[in-house]
Every structure is written in structure tokens, then in C-alpha cells.
Copies of this chain bind each other. A is one copy, B any other.
Amino acid sequence: MEKSGDAPAPPVKKGRAAAERLADKQQEISVTEFFEKNKQILGFDSRTKSLLMGVKEAVDNALDACEETGILPDISVRLVKLGDEDFKVSIEDNGPGIVHRMMPNVFGRLLYGSRFHALRQSRGQQGIGISATIMYANLSTGLPAHVASRIEGEDEAAWEMDIAVDTKTNRPVVTDDKAFVWENKAHGTLIEYTTKGRYMTGKQSIFEYLKETAIVNPHACLVFHDPDGKVFTFERATETMPSKAKEIKPHPQGLEIGDLMRYAKDTAQKTLSSFLCNDFCRITPRIANEVSGMAKLKVEQDPQKLTRDQCQALTEALAQVKIMPPPTDCLSPIGDVLIKKGLMHILDGIRPEYYATPITRPPKAVNGNPFLVEAGIVYGGEIPPDQQVSVMRFANRVPLLYQQGADVITKAVADIDWRRYGLEQRGGKGVPFGPAIILVHVASTKVPFTSEGKEAIAALPEIQNEIELALKLCARNLKSHLNKKERKAKTHEKFEIVQQILPDLANKSAEQLHRPVPDLARTIIRIMNVVWVEPDTIKENSARKITYTVFNYTNKVRTFMLHAQLPPECSSPDLKKSTLFDSSNNEGKTQWLIKDLQPAKSVQIVFNLAGDLADTFDPDDVYVSGISPLVVMGAEALPGDWGIRGLAITEEDETVLENDTAAEAEEQQEEKEEEDFDREEKDDYC
């Protein structure tokens, strides 16, 4: 170190006086005061954002309560402008209502709630959001919030009161508590508060939040009255309630010794064996035995008397035995059909060209918390082709509008090389460019948000990995769509030549030569050498008429099956009337048998689809069996995991018509290998 001789600051040592001075200032910090002074942590860092956050917290709570009690949610949000920066915000739902005695705590106390200790998927987890909204509204205007609630039942009164949060004590301050008659309201809750705020439209607006909420909650009906008095209604796209997430016990996977020690201390169980089997999920008496043995403990041991070292041994033993992954009914994924339906319902206006079949990944667990990832990609239409792809991020069915840069979803999107999948991307890194919208939904019993404002998901490698896998699967669909589109365009050209120009030529020549028109079948067959499946859709009111025309442009008689998965409960009875109809199951998987189709001949399959989900069916998703897919244009080989056995190929189709099909398969294999490699690398990192 280069010490200069001059200007040393001699340490000012003040001994006890200095230390006591510091000690005098030490004091407890009320959690409410903490959040009040750190608004940005809860997402209330600007007037614009505060206005959104309040609506979000109230709507999320309403959706949770409806889901837990099996009610199809009807939620209305109303903003009234009172002054330059003053708004009255009201959110009303048709939820189960809140019992009178709980209203003060639910709305007037931070860190108070019903979902924190429950291991299952829910939007709210912290018991902070709605009381924080009321706290900040009160801070900015000095006014309490007004809440009203009614629970179902003829004898039940509706109750209303004014509530504020006492930030020193974190307790509700209630005024004007009284029963009232709520006309035409069987059950539900109303929250109304005045707050400073700034209203804006665009990407991070209340409108956008509600729109995206509607996409991933297609069972909800949301109505928005904006400050100009305009009314926007997002109707429900389905009346099917999401599957109810069940509460589970903690899973021993990744259990910290500290957790185990606490559970042991708090348990009501009398023996180690019953403690392990009853207080955790997926531990059987056999496993309890095995684990106790490994830890050199008796199964009769009193769990409350376990020492730290014994718990250490137990933790190590638990890490070594094989335990089933956590049950997954604690999660409530949206599902591929409803994601597509939701996207279609809301994005219809921009007429996308293609909705890649959304992917719902199987659940995994991280730190003992089950989670799963869903992804979808929408392509083309009026989506701007020269801008960065927009990424719609969701956590437990709640759209995330802020902190995109901090989110694991953005990180996963940016880490994928999208050039392989037909999108532009500089250097194979970063959010890609192109006419696409990417949707990712992370569902978990405990989403690891980066802050209480729940604006971004922390970049846990396990979650990032799942997102990348889901997106790559979706992207492969997109790529195959783009390939198919290109190939179809090419073959269509050929087809038109064959269908129109050749006969014209033949007619003309025959006429001029005064000879009979020759039979072109053999020529056409020689040129095409393909079985052609051509889908066609006609919209008739709410129903869709689907036609598949199948041409045999090969020189063999063909017998094969055509397969498609129709949306369940959508197909009309006439489906089975078709002579080609073979069978269908309750999943909607349907097959038609095309028997002895002669060269140069064609047949037609016609059926109607009606109902809620009719438009989620993509007629291009059609498969064949009993024939080499290499001679078929317009349908793919029946997937191996389809679940229903197709027709076996009885003849050898040696003609490899399309080299690019083989090339594509090879490419996919390469990709898969690369992904496996990526995954391994990441596992190393974790």
C-alpha cells in the first residue's frame, strides 16, 4: 500500500460513548412503516403504477375467492376522475363475500391472509396487496377506503364500513360500520377508495392488465369503465371453471434442516414414523422406516425431542431415498385448449395467421414447491413484423406488466436461438424480432417473485430451464408451420399447373390435331406422385363446416386412415353419418377410413363443429396412418403418443418424394441433442 505521510485521519475512538450513541438509536421498525417508506417494493412507486396496482390487487383477490368457491366471476372495475390526479376507484365482484367480523383485518392489516400457509396455486399469497392499496390511497388523500360485502343467504345482511390502516400498529381503523340492504346483489364484495393517481393507456395500463387477465382466465367476465366513461367488456370465453387447486403437505425434496427442525418441534404426532408420514406428502411408512434406519433413529422416537444432529442425519437420509415427486393437483394449469381459446378470443381483432399449439409442461418442484410452465406462440396476421416480439408474462394466471428486464421469462426468451425457428434475432441472443406474440405462464404453489410487488419472477435455473423447453416445443410447431406453409405454396403451384394448364393444353392440342382428348391421369400421377389432403373451412354462424378432400395422385390404389383431434363436445351428430367415419373417443380423437382409393380419384369428408371451443380446432392438424407419410401432402404421420393405434403400413412405399421431410427430421434430431446438451450444462450449473 502506498501510504503518504500527510493528512492521515486519526481514528476518532470514542469507546462506550460512541457505541452507546449507536445503541440508543436501535429500535424496532414496524412492518407497515417499512412498506410505507418503501412503496416501490410493493409496486407503488409512481402515480401511474399505483393506480394499476390497486385494481390488480382487488381483481386478483376476487378471482381467487371465486375460484375457491366455484363461482364464475363477474368483476367490474370503475375509475372516476375527481381532479387532476385524484381518482375514485371501485372494484365489485360476485364472489362469496367476506364474513362481517373478518372485513377489518382483510382490508386493514398487512401480512394477514388465508393463502400464505397453504401449499397450492393462488394469485394472492402474501396478505399484503389489498391492505397496501388502502394504505397508499389513505396516505395520498387522507381518506379511508369504503368496503361492502354480502354473503349468500336470505338471512344474511350486507355490511359496509370505512377502513384505514394504522401504520404504526398495523391494525385496521374502522368507522361507520353498518348493515345495509344491497339491492339485486346475492353475494359479492365492493371496494371503493379515493387515491392520487395518473391514468394512462398502452402497454402497462389497466386496460392491458384486464385484457391479459381475460386471456388466461377465460372463465371470467371483466367489465371496465374507464375515466372517460367508455365501457369495455371482456366476456367469458368458456363456462368451464378452472380445476380447483388442492392444498398439499410440504414435500421432503430440498427440505432445509432448519425447516425440518421446526416442523418436528411443532408436530402433533407422537412418533417419528407418523410425523414423517402425516406431516409431509409422499412419505410412506416404508420410506419412513428406511429413512429412520439410515439416520440411525428409532421410528418410535418422539419427534419433538429430535436433536440438531439427528435432524441433520434425517435430512441427509431424505436426500438419498427415492421419493415420488409432489402431487400436481395443487396446481391449476390453464391447459393448451383454453390458452388457445383465450388468445383467440382476445386477439381475434389482429387476425393472427397461426396459433402454435400451446404447451403445458409436466410439473416439477423447486425447493419443495411444485411448479409448471405453459407457453404459446401466436404468429402473423396484423402483428407488426419488424418489431421485437412482445412477451406476455403470467404468474398463477396474473399478467405481469412491469419489470420485464428482471424476469426469468424474459431471460429464457432471450437465451433461446430463435433464428432456428424462423424469427429474426441479432447474434442469436436477446428478445427476437418478428410478427409474433409469446405467452408464458408459470404456475406454482409459491411463485418466487423478486419483490412483494409481484412484478417479476426470480431467475431460478430450474424454472428458466422449463420455460426454455416449453418455448422450444412451441417454437418447433411454429417452425413446422412455416415449413409447411412454404412447401404447400410450392406444391400448390405444381397442383395448379397439373389441374388447369395440362387439361387446357391437352384440349387445345386435341382440337388442333382433330384427335380425341387424351387421358391425362397417368401423366398427372407421374408429375404429382402424391396423396393430397386439402382442408377447407366455412364459417356458418357460430358453427364451422370442415371439408377434407383427399386426392390420390399416385399410381397405386390406396387404403389408409385419417386422424384428427376434434374439440370434445363440439362435433355435431352428422359426424358419424359420413360413410368414411370409423370411430372417435371421448377425447375427441376421431378417425376416418379411406378404403381402396383409386389412382386419379378423390373422396370428401365433411362434418360440422359447433359450440364453445369450435374455433380452437386447426384443420391443418390432421394425421395419417397405414400409408407412408412421405407420399402424403397436407397431413403428417400419426404421432407415436397419440394413444390410439392407427392402421399399419402394409405396403412399402419406396419412393421418397420429399427429401426435405427427411432433412427436417434430421434437423429436429440435431436440435434435440443440442437441447439435451443445454439442459445438462444447466444442471451442472444448478
Contacts and interface: CB of A to CB of B under 8 A. Distances in A.
Interface of A: 1-9, 11-16, 18-20, 22-23, 25-31, 33-34, 37-38, 40-41, 45-46, 65, 68-72, 96-99, 101-102, 105-106, 109, 111-118, 126-127, 138-143, 151-153, 156, 167, 186-187, 196, 219, 221, 233, 235-237, 239-241, 256-259, 261-262, 308, 311-312, 403, 405-406, 410-411, 426, 446, 448-453, 456, 458, 460-461, 542, 569, 610-612
A423 B46 CA distance: 33
Given A25-B114, A41-B452, A612-B4, A19 B240 contact: no
A541 to B, nearest CB: 10
Contacts of A612: 2-4, 6-7
Contact of A236 (B1, B16, B29, B37): B1
A127 B312 CA distance: 30
B460 A22 contact: no
A219 B96 CA distance: 62
12 contacts: A5-B611, A13-B69, A13-B187, A15-B187, A26-B105, A33-B116, A34-B111, A38-B126, A41-B451, A140-B257, A142-B312, A403-B450
Contacts of A31: 31, 111
Contacts of A112: 26-29
Nearest to A12: B70
A446 B2 contact: no
A98 B236 CA distance: 61
Nearest to A19: B151
Contacts of A111: 28-31, 34
Across the A-B interface, give the 8 residue pairs with the lowest CB-CB distance, nearest first. A12-B70, A1-B235, A139-B258, A405-B405, A406-B406, A15-B152, A451-B451, A25-B114
A588 B338 CA distance: 73
A143 to B, nearest CB: 7
Q: For the complex formed by this chain, how many copies does it contain in all?
A: 2
Contacts of A261: 142
A682 B237 CA distance: 40
Given A12-B69, A29-B112, A98 B19 contact: yes
Nearest to A143: B308
B3 A239 contact: yes
A72 B11 contact: yes
A681 to B, nearest CB: 15
B114 A40 contact: no
Given A68-B22, A112-B29, A186-B13, A140 B256 contact: yes
Nearest to A109: B28
B240 A71 contact: no
A658 to B, nearest CB: 39
Contact of A239 (B7, B97, B196, B311): B7
A72 B152 CA distance: 68
A605 to B, nearest CB: 24
Contacts of A262: 167
Nearest to A265: B168
From A2, A18, A152, A261, name the one whose CB has the most chain B CB atoms within 10 angstroms: A18
A22 B569 contact: no
A413 to B, nearest CB: 12
A241 to B, nearest CB: 5
B2 A542 contact: yes
Contacts of A140: 256-258
Given A114-B26, A448-B38, A16 B141 contact: no
B23 A102 contact: yes
A197 B8 CA distance: 39
A204 to B, nearest CB: 12
A111 B140 CA distance: 25
Given A7-B240, A14-B69, A71-B13, A34 B116 contact: yes
A117 B30 CA distance: 11
A235 B38 CA distance: 35
A71 B11 contact: yes
B45 A456 contact: no
B449 A38 contact: yes
B70 A9 contact: yes
A221 to B, nearest CB: 8
A153 B19 CA distance: 11
Nearest to A266: B168
Nearest to A404: B405
A171 to B, nearest CB: 11
Contacts of A450: 40-41, 403, 406, 450-451, 453
A139 B115 CA distance: 23
Nearest to A455: B450
Contacts of A186: 13
Contact of A116 (B3, B4, B29, B308): B29
Contact of A8 (B12, B18, B152, B239): B239
